[in-house]
Amino acid sequence: MNNSITKNQLFFLVIKTQIGIGLLSLPSDIQESAGGDAWISVLGSGVVIQLLILAYWHLCSRYPEKNLSQMTVLFFGKYIGRAVNCIYYGFFVLIAGYACTLYVKLIKVWLLPLTPSWVLILLIIVIGIYLAVEDLRVIARFYQLASVLLFVLFAMSLATFVNDVHLSNVLPVGQAGISQIFKGSGKTFFAMLGFEVILFFIAQVKASPREVMKTLTLANCFVTLFYSYFVFICLIGFSQEALSKVKEPVLFLLRGLSFQLFDRLDLIFLSIWIIPMSTTIVSYLCLAGKTLTTTRKTYQRMVRISGVLILMLAIYMSTRESLDTFSKWMEYGYLIMIAAVPLLMWTMSFLLLSYHKRRLT
């Protein structure tokens, strides 16, 4: 069966996974450390991600048509490789559960304060499964379609320039100092997670490695610019004190706008934003399925099982008051999984390539 995707589709798979819930609260998170230079932090983390992507790409192009879970088995042997995959699986489920929790919290605060969390989580997961059980091609098709909404959201954000704009908030450029900007980059990095899907999806792309790299670079540029644009409009829209007090500055920025036909642009923005947020969860469901299985049938079953796990996890997490300690712990653990482990494999590949080549042929 033909289940390859085009390089175009890869682009959308990457950006739709990356752009999600993180963006809405990002500006206030990073301005704590980077102040008026928060937008530079975003660009900085874009550069770091680009370097990681380069390593990913190099690794994947050495082992064409192998995704990460197949590579781990190749590198670490049957048993350790499987164990590593199980850890990956655990993290994908955790990340999806965590994203789901944040997502539902946001919906509860802004749209449906009285609806119980578990109902919302159930809805999100069921839709996630409905899409994730399909071929990657179908998922990519939906992502392409949903990407049109990013332009709608961008157009909406243009309306914020009707508000008072204080360019002086970001001036002078570089006021926060390099170390602070880097600190901000670190925080941004976690909001931009999602590029690790590359490790799994590259195997199915039907294009030359050069084209793939071009696509990935473009996707990264797009996401970085999209993020830094939103951070920038928040910085010039709010003073630093205001920004540190609000949790979702992007939505608050739109809240102040009023038109003749409708008020509260933020609610409309959020209603559309639901779709990018859901696609992130779909991607992780898909990854969770792909880490442990290879055939289509077992994949579908795995996605369903993962869905149930995520559901339980998210329901549990949404009952807890604070997730800060959990998220810190999880973020660092995840950093090891998506940066350290692939980089280790990449360095190993220099030594082992000739050995693998012999074994594969």
Partner 1 sequence: MTLNSAAINDYLSYTEDLITQNLTFHNERCTILYLESLTKMELIQFNIIQPFLEEGFAAIEAVSGARQSSDLPLIGQALLDGYCVVLPDSRAKAYMISAALLHSRSIEEPSAEQIIKGSHEGFVESLSTNIYLLRYRVKSPQLKVKYFSMGSLTNTKVAMVYMENLADPNIVKECEKRLRSINLTHLISTGEIDEMIEEHPLSPFPQSLHTERTDRAVSYLLEGKINIVVDGNPTVLVIPIKFFTFYQSPDDYNSRWITGSFFRFVRMISFVLAISLPAIYIAIVSFHSEVLPPGILYSVKVSLTYVPFPPIVEAIAMQIILELLKEASIRLPSPIAQTIGIVGGLVIGTAVVEAHLVSHTMIVVIGLTAIASFAAPLNEFGTSLRILGFPTMLAAALFGFFGISVMMMVVFIHLCKIETLGVPYFAPFGPFKGKESMKDIFLRLPVWKTEKNAQKSGSHKQSFTQRWKRH
* Footprint of partner 1 (CB under 8 A): 6, 8-9, 12, 107, 111-112, 115, 120, 123-124, 127, 130-131, 134, 137-138, 140-142, 144-146, 258-264, 267-268, 270-272, 274-275, 278
Q: Is the dihedral of CA 152, 154, 158, 159 positive or negative?
A: positive
Question: C-beta of 269: minimal distance to partner 1 in Å?
Answer: 11
What is d(CA 276, CA 18) in angstroms, rounded to the nearest whole number? 9
263 DSSP β-pair partners:
258
| 300-337 burial code (b ≥16 CB/10 A, e <16) | bebbbebbebbbebbbebbeeeeeeeebeebbeebeeb
Which residue number, 122 or 305, has a Cβ lying nearer to partner 1?
122
The Cα 52–Cα 36 span in angstroms is 27
Considering the complex, what minimum distance in angstroms separates the CB of residue 127 from partner 1? 6
Q: How far is the CB of 20 from partner 1 (least distance, A)?
A: 14
User: CB neighbours (10 Å) of residue 27?
Assistant: 28
Smallest separation (angstroms) from partner 1 to the CB of 354: 39
Q: Which is nearer to partner 1, 23 or 107 (CB)?
A: 107
Whichever of 214 and 264 has its CB closer to partner 1, that residue is 264
Rounded to a whole number of angstroms, the minimum distance from the CB of residue 316 to partner 1 is: 22
Nearer to partner 1, 120 or 198 (CB): 120
Would you tell me the crossing angle of helices 136-158 and 117-132 to the nearest 10 degrees? 130
**Residue 260 or 325: which CB sits closer to partner 1?**
260
Provide, rounded to whole angstroms, the least separation between the CB of residue 292 and partner 1.
23
Euclidean distance between CA atoms 19 and 356, whole angstroms: 36
Q: Give the nearer residue to partner 1 in terms of CB position, either 54 or 272.
A: 272
Residue 112 CB, nearest distance to partner 1 (Å)? 6
Shortest Å distance, C-beta 286 to partner 1: 13
In sequence order, the 6+-apart residues with CB closer than 8 A to the CB of 235 are 27, 31, 36, 38, 39, 169, 170, 243
Do 10 and 216 form a contact (C-beta atoms < 8 A)?
yes
Q: Distances in Å between the alpha carbon of 193 and those of 52, 230, 320?
A: 12, 17, 23
130 vs 154, beta carbon nearer partner 1: 130
φ, ψ of residue 208 in degrees (nearest 5): -70, 155
Q: Of the two residues 74 and 133, which places its CB atom closer to partner 1 in the complex?
A: 133
Chain centroid to Cα 323, Å, comes to: 19
